[in-house]
Amino acid sequence: MTDASTTRREAETTDSSPHLESGHLSLKALVALSLASFFPAVAIALAPYVTYSSAGITGWQSSLLATIAVIFIGRAIIVFARRYVAKGLIYSYVGEVFGTWAKWLAGAAMLAGFIVGLAAFASICGIFIGSFLSARGISWALDLGPQIVVFGLVLSLAGAIAFRGLDTSVTIAVVLAVLALPLVLVITAASARHTGLHWSEQFSYSGFSFGHTLQGIAVGAAFLIAFESCAALATETRNPRKNIPVAIMSVPVILGGILPIATILQAPGLASASEQLAAGVSAPAALAAQAGLSPWIGSATDLVLALASFAALIGFVNYGSRYLMTLAEDGILPPLLTRIHSRHHTPHIAIVIVVGISFLCDVGLSFLAGSVSAAYLLNANLLVFLWVIPYVLICVAAIVITVREKEIRPGLWLTTILGGAAMVWSFVNGIINPPPAPGDVAVWVAIAAVVVIVGIFAICRGRHRQIH
């Protein structure tokens, strides 16, 4: 793959200028960071609730289908990950097939996606921290002002950890993710034991609704969106053509495989706790109360899930900063973003920029939406709609490149078509059946963001050509 990242790696062998540490990250560390970045505790705590809310007691079907759709997309991505080593993720991959227009389109959507994703993670941290403090009498903890302070603190701390290097990031993110899991698993098991599994209801198809199931697929896939982000660390990973595909697929296969099971275990409890959920009680707290667990357990989940969300924030600051760096190396963002810290070997300028812009995005959307919780829902919808573009492009690109290279792979072609179709549906469904406000504007905000960022790319590219 002849691109800026290749040029950079070659330069590293001939000069002593600051650079990313090539071949530094092991497969074990890469997979651990990849899984920790998708807050497994938060996903297990919340994904069953959102699929149950959309698809009812048979929501496990939507969860399973969402997992299958994402695995299908993963198959398309690893077609390229096994061929090329690139920090630019799908941005770099689709460029190999379709050229500049596809790179810019996918690149703009993914850049907006990383910013929105970081803002969403910061919002989740703020909501859980605020809820934990509010339960202890600090009633103003969920007000917008204090929440903005929390956004700034968690983003700054995540940026500082990412600045210290990948070893520090992996250690802290994985420890936090592991610490967050036991309590959520205890609540899930206790709920299933208390209510039973209601097999006859969960596996009954008499009340099957195709429309509700499809809506459940869209919201279920939201917990796995951007699962391929660990590929941003390709040049810092040992044996990337082998290890990156394994790490990419670890999220939809391992975490995605757990979510339908968690949904089966939690759905009867969620049905029993419908009144509490309607009153605004969080899903884990409602399940804990239904199962007769001590009140402190439900309350403690807020703090535990805040830690899990912060682990995800650390991972995505690392991914996003390296993605910005790749775009700058290609001349479509300012060259300042390519600078590497001489001691820690991290893209420190890119880290500061991605953290700062994400903070401004979070604050702006919070004011626009009117509350932090509403802003999170808008962020979550935006993230899904923004990632539709690169996922559809990579699915088509996987078919094109295999045909171009005369590979006969009907299984791959079928799965990528189905995976791409699922993403197209989530976008179309967002227009036909928009989510409640403020999420109903997410499709149009996503389109506007891509147009604006493509314009920024064009301006930066023009200046880059003038200089060179």
CA distance 441 to 182: 37
Q: What are phi and psi of 165, to 5 degrees?
A: 120, 170
User: pTM here?
Assistant: 0.83
CA distance 407 to 146: 56
Per-10-residue mean pLDDT for the chain, 468 residues long?
43 50 74 80 83 79 87 92 80 89 93 90 84 78 85 92 82 81 89 86 67 67 81 80 88 90 90 74 79 78 83 87 90 90 86 93 84 76 87 94 92 92 83 75 89 93 76
**Structure tokens belonging to residue 93:** 């991959």
Q: What are phi and psi of 447, to 5 degrees?
A: -60, -45
Where are any strands of DSSP class E within 353-423? none
Question: In a 10 Å sphere around its CB, with 0-12 CB exposed, 13-18 middle and 19+ buried, how is residue 442 labelled?
Answer: buried
Class of domain 25-467: mainly alpha
Q: Longest C-alpha distance within the chain, in Å?
A: 69
**DSSP codes, 129-146:** HHHHHHTTT-GGGGSHHH
User: What pLDDT shows up at residue 213?
Assistant: 66
In order of 50, 57, 176, 199, 219, the CA distances from 205 in angstroms are 20, 11, 40, 12, 21
CA distance 366 to 157: 21
User: What pLDDT shows up at residue 357?
Assistant: 93
Is 431 strand, coil or helix?
Answer: helix
Helix (H) / strand (E) containing 243: helix 240-250
